[in-house]
Amino acid sequence: MAPTSDYDWVAIDFETATGRRASACAVGLVHVRDGRIAGTESFLIQPPGNAYSGFNISIHGIDPSMTGDSPTFAEVWPMLADSIGGRAVVAHNASFDVSVLRYELDHLGLSYPDLEYYCTLVLSRACWPGLHGHRLPDVASHCGIAFQHHDAAEDARACAEILLRISAASGDLTPRAVAARHGVRPGRLHADGYCTCSRR
- Residue 149 domain-assigned (yes or no): yes
- Residue 1 domain-assigned (yes or no): no
- Residue 84 domain-assigned (yes or no): yes
Closest CA to 147 of 21, 18, 30: 30
User: pLDDT digit string (tens) for 151-178?
Assistant: 999 999 999 999 999 999 888 879 999 9
User: pLDDT digit string (tens) for 9-38?
Assistant: 999 999 999 999 999 999 999 999 988 999
- Residue 3 domain-assigned (yes or no): no
Instruction: Tell me the residue range of the domain where 174 lies.
Output: 9-199
DSSP strands (E only) in the chain: 9-16, 24-33, 36-44, 88-91, 115-119, 184-185, 187-190, 193-195, 198-199
What φ, ψ does residue 39 adopt, rounded to 5°? 175, 160
pLDDT of amino acid 2: 43
pLDDT of amino acid 173: 78
Calculate mean pLDDT across residues 143-147.
98
One-letter identity of residue 115? L
Residue 189: CATH number of its domain: 3.30.420.10
- Residue 99 domain-assigned (yes or no): yes
Give percent above pLDDT 90 in the chain. Answer: 92
Going by pLDDT thresholds of 50, 70 and 90, the confidence category of residue 1 is very low
- Residue 162 domain-assigned (yes or no): yes
- Residue 183 domain-assigned (yes or no): yes
CA gyration radius, the chain: 16
Give percent above pLDDT 70 in the chain. Answer: 98
- pTM beyond 0.85: yes
pLDDT of amino acid 200: 87
- Residue 2 domain-assigned (yes or no): no
Which helix H or strand E contains 121, and what residues bound it? helix 120-127
Work out how many domains the chain is built from and give that number: 1
pLDDT of amino acid 4: 52
